[in-house]
Chains A and B, each alone.
Chain A
């Protein structure tokens, strides 16, 4: 059998430098670029869907599968198939609620957060995200027929410093130069604003799979100025699914002990949620249990989330110094805004319905692509500028565990602030500097970003040494801290270290290793794909042989069964993708007469009301 031809999209004349925008989402990810002035989402070929499920499967043989194939493997290998990893980016062990109805296994021990998977050492959320980014990069390379190294990656506006750092590291690990970490609502506003050409104050309401952001922007003459942002980096569709699942467990008064059951129940909950966007009541089945669920049930189950969302919206309006009447339009972003219940929340909070004029699932990637185009220098002297803000206040712990805020939330980026501190004991030679992020008064209630010790202060009376601490936040929202003693000029600079435990050197090491293994990676990926193809084909063939045994002679049937058995054996023994591919093609060829007969017979039976007239 010869390979069939596929139709390609015509090659677009590419500008000298090309960078892509990537929406690295909790449930889906996608990549976009600007082609002929228009932001366009990219696909590798005709068969690939636009949205890449953010799911990564680690096989026992060490290979890694990403996207829809990985998702297909989730029910079979719930523990080795990681989804919603974005929720764990930049998190410590202590941040993760062990009671969550999740299927993965945390790697034991004290070190940084990692997941135990088959076929290799534990993987960190950064590494898992890098796998997703690698695939998106490949897609972009294939679609644009050029080497892509630069990207703008979007993050929830409410991501803190550690979460941003983790995302940037994932980009580096995937071999990407991260031009910018762009806030998702800002990206959406950029795409929406350019398309609608409207001016004024807008709200971007972004409720995705795992994060919630609200940003208020003012659009005026090409300047996209973020006035305020608020949100919750752990609130999204996943939480709705969990609530639904928990409510169902309670309703049926049962427990789910196995990871597989958890997976099935969560999947059922998700489907229930999605179907209730179109239907008013839906029947749900889980094992022997059945229930009919209405929109009203769903509304009640997820009602507790409304309070959090309402609070964030109110705070953003207040910080922006605006009333809801000042808002021109509310732009809806993220898959969860498809829920009628969420749409009614928006209307309740802002007094007018939200808009979804640009596809809520693509708009973020499109905005990122526009920003990538601006930053890679492809457009000269642009009259377009994004002014974003820091989502959470940044400060230092002072006497008594109090926080002294150096940069307030919603300060425009880039931002700098300095503050003078002095010694409080005679002859004090060092000073602990504790950097925190958050709104609370006490340092213990805020997120700790870094602790360091400034040494070598010359002995002086209390209050005489003067230490200047400087904060500087770049356009990515990433903080670096500098401290120096003014009299002696002793200086210490700290780029706030990510708490997910990967140092700059670690990343370099992993990057080198991944380049070394790139070849191996490709082979194991190819093998995994062929293995899946073989399984699919064997299943299909045995189904067809069962249903259409009349189309086969006894000899043909036994020959086909024999060939199928051979493929099955090969599937278990071989590590060579090409061998497997050839065997699949051979079996396909052998089955061709059979499948043609099946097609003919079904066509005949439809056309003439009786079958097998020709045979």
Chain B
């Protein structure tokens, strides 16, 4: 089975929250809007309504939840913005590849990770975790900077650069997920 995300690419998440598509978002007001809309839409706040209305409110709340999860997280927000501008990194057909040097670095780190977990070195795992977290944040910030420059009427190559950074961010994220799995194994 080959995976490919449903292409529901639209700006509706930003519209839902009545804000302009942008890299930088004021989180407290995003949260306030989320709470206000939840109180209005959530099925639990519409227990007296008829079945049809409640089903509709369920749909709307699910969409609202997905929108909030996307917009409130900087990485997901950046990926969503790229998608709006026509670069869908979730599409497995996407030809973008991380640079070879980066992939080599990852391979090396993965070997270290294997070793640390085989020899049950929890401190080593923690060091790797810290290192990867910092590297990921740095890459994400680079990606966001390129996005800021490329959005609107900026040069299109900036968007390509942003996409490349975000591809690397995803490698780091998977690496961190693996670190966590090993940590869990060692804790039980």
Given contacts A387-B38, A414-B43, A440-B181, 11 further A-B contacts (CB under 8 A): A223-B38, A307-B186, A315-B184, A374-B44, A380-B48, A415-B66, A417-B66, A419-B4, A419-B6, A420-B4, A468-B6
Chain B interface size, as a band, is 35 or more
Q: Does A422 contact B (CB under 8 A)?
A: yes
Across the interface, do A311 and B63 meet the contact criterion of CB distance under 8 Å? no
Across the interface, do B62 and A398 meet the contact criterion of CB distance under 8 Å? no
Across the interface, do A223 and B35 meet the contact criterion of CB distance under 8 Å? yes
Across the interface, do B181 and A419 meet the contact criterion of CB distance under 8 Å? no
Across the interface, do B181 and A439 meet the contact criterion of CB distance under 8 Å? yes
Nearest chain B CB to A172 CB, angstrom units: 20
- Contact string, B18-53, partner A, CB cutoff 8 A, digits 1/0? 000000000000010001001100111101100000
Across the interface, do A315 and B1 meet the contact criterion of CB distance under 8 Å? no
Across the interface, do A415 and B3 meet the contact criterion of CB distance under 8 Å? no
Nearest chain B CB to A414 CB, angstrom units: 5
Nearest chain B CB to A422 CB, angstrom units: 5
21 residue pairs from A and B, CB less than 8 Å apart: A220-B31, A221-B35, A374-B44, A375-B44, A375-B47, A377-B47, A383-B39, A387-B38, A397-B1, A399-B2, A412-B69, A414-B62, A418-B6, A424-B1, A439-B180, A440-B181, A441-B181, A468-B6, A474-B58, A475-B43, A475-B44
Across the interface, do A396 and B66 meet the contact criterion of CB distance under 8 Å? no
Q: How far is the CA of A383 from the CA of B186 in the complex (A)?
A: 44
Assuming the contacts A375-B47, A416-B62, asked whether A398 and B3 have C-beta atoms less than 8 A apart, the reply is: yes
- Contact string, A156-180, partner B, CB cutoff 8 A, digits 1/0? 0000000000000000000000000
Across the interface, do B1 and A396 meet the contact criterion of CB distance under 8 Å? yes
Query: Which B residues contact A (CB, under 8 angstroms)?
Result: 1-8, 31, 35, 38-39, 42-45, 47-48, 58-59, 61-63, 65-66, 68-69, 177-178, 180-181, 183-184, 186-188
Nearest chain A CB to B122 CB, angstrom units: 9
Nearest chain A CB to B83 CB, angstrom units: 15
Across the interface, do B44 and A385 meet the contact criterion of CB distance under 8 Å? yes
Which residue on B lies nearest to A424, using beta carbons? B2
Nearest chain B CB to A14 CB, angstrom units: 19
| Contact among A307, A383, A414, A418 for B65, CB-based, below 8 A | A414
Which residue on B lies nearest to A432, using beta carbons? B1
Q: How far is the CA of A377 from the CA of B180 in the complex (A)?
A: 43
Q: How far is the CA of A387 from the CA of B35 in the complex (A)?
A: 10
Query: Which A residues contact B (CB, under 8 angstroms)?
Result: 220-223, 225, 307-308, 310-311, 315, 374-377, 380, 382-383, 385-387, 396-399, 404, 411-422, 424, 431-432, 439-441, 463, 468, 472, 474-475
Across the interface, do B38 and A398 meet the contact criterion of CB distance under 8 Å? no
In the complex, which residues of chain A have a beta carbon less than 8 angstroms from the beta carbon of B178?
A: 441
Nearest chain A CB to B2 CB, angstrom units: 5
Across the interface, do B66 and A422 meet the contact criterion of CB distance under 8 Å? no
Assuming the contacts A387-B38, A424-B1, A475-B43, asked whether A413 and B6 have C-beta atoms less than 8 A apart, the reply is: no
Across the interface, do A463 and B1 meet the contact criterion of CB distance under 8 Å? no
| Contact among B1, B6, B69 for A399, CB-based, below 8 A | B1
| Contact among B58, B68, B180, B187 for A412, CB-based, below 8 A | B68
Q: How far is the CA of A311 from the CA of B48 in the complex (A)?
A: 42
In the complex, which residues of chain B have a beta carbon less than 8 angstroms from the beta carbon of A397?
A: 1
Across the interface, do A311 and B62 meet the contact criterion of CB distance under 8 Å? no
